[in-house]
Amino acid sequence: KNEVEQSPQNLTAQEGEFITINCSYSVGISALHWLQQHPGGGIVSLFMLSSGKKKHGRLIATINIQEKHSSLHITASHPRDSAVYICAVTRGANSKLTFGKGITLSVRP
Amino acid sequence: DTGVSQNPRHKITKRGQNVTFRCDPISEHNRLYWYRQTLGQGPEFLTYFQNEAQLEKSRLLSDRFSAERPKGSFSTLEIQRTEQGDSAMYLCASSSRDNYGYTFGSGTRLTVV
């Protein structure tokens, strides 16, 4: 079993829909990262969370430490949100990232 | 500062050849990481530097792989005697001591033919 699991694996939505992407992890963590990867490889860091909730524009990330679960929400989705969304964690003082496989999101106009 | 820079962007090499990739991190970041990503998978950790010290190496990093960060600034990743299984995207990232500002480069895509 992978330390970081993401669901669903692929997701298709219509423009304007509210989207939720989930991430579960099986180990104690010091922080959880949400990352976005567009075709061609570039990875952009969206959020780093250790508790609670963060918001940036149309993106909201939440984390429940007790349940070892995090969600990334996209409000008013747009085709330019189409990308791979990856959840990754760091453990203790170790700053390397352990990644989930990522979820491919397609937003149709 | 223009972020994390990786060169080259693409590399095609024949099996058995040596290749070297370079990563220039954000100048204020003292932590530098190398990851490898194959198609359809999340990245996997290869190695990590704090300043010039290589603090951790993954078991994925066979004897054919070596990484350096000689002056605590840029880093190089060398693969000797490349194999087809080495074909992947090699990603470099840097961060500050408290992991804020975790920033990835655009990656070097290696194809071994």
Give residue-wise pLDDT tens across range B19-51. Answer: 999 999 999 899 999 999 998 888 999 999 999
Percent of chain A scored above 90 by pLDDT?
A: 79
**Can you say how many angstroms the Cα of residue A90 is from the centroid of all Cα atoms in its chain?**
14
Residue B99 near chain A (CB below 8 Å):
yes
3-state secondary structure of B51: coil
Residue B51 near chain A (CB below 8 Å):
no
Tell me the two tokens of residue B39.
Answer: 């198609």
Distance from C-alpha of A63 to C-alpha of A70, rounded to nearest angstrom:
4
3-state secondary structure of A81: helix
Asked if B103 and A45 come within 8 Å (Cβ–Cβ), the reply is yes
Q: Give the per-residue pLDDT at B99.
A: 66
Q: How many CB atoms lie within 10 A of CB A11?
A: 16
Distance from CA of A94 to the nearest CA of B (A): 9
Mutation for testing the B interface, residue in A6, A96, A101 having most B CBs under 10 Å:
A96
Asked if A97 and B35 come within 8 Å (Cβ–Cβ), the reply is yes
pLDDT confidence of B62, banded at 50, 70, 90? confident
Q: Which among A4, A33, A96 has the least Cβ separation from residue B45? A: A96
Please determine, for residue B2, whether its predicted confidence score (pLDDT) is greater than 80.
no
The distance in angstroms from the start CA to the end CA of chain B is 36
Asked if B33 and A97 come within 8 Å (Cβ–Cβ), the reply is yes
Q: By C-alpha distance, which of B66, B75, B88 is closest to B18?
A: B66
A23-56 burial code (b ≥16 CB/10 A, e <16): bbbeeebebbbbbbbeeebebebbbbbeeeeeee
Please determine, for residue B107, whether its predicted confidence score (pLDDT) is greater than 60.
yes
Q: By C-alpha distance, which of A33, A24, A83, A20 is closest to B93?
A: A33
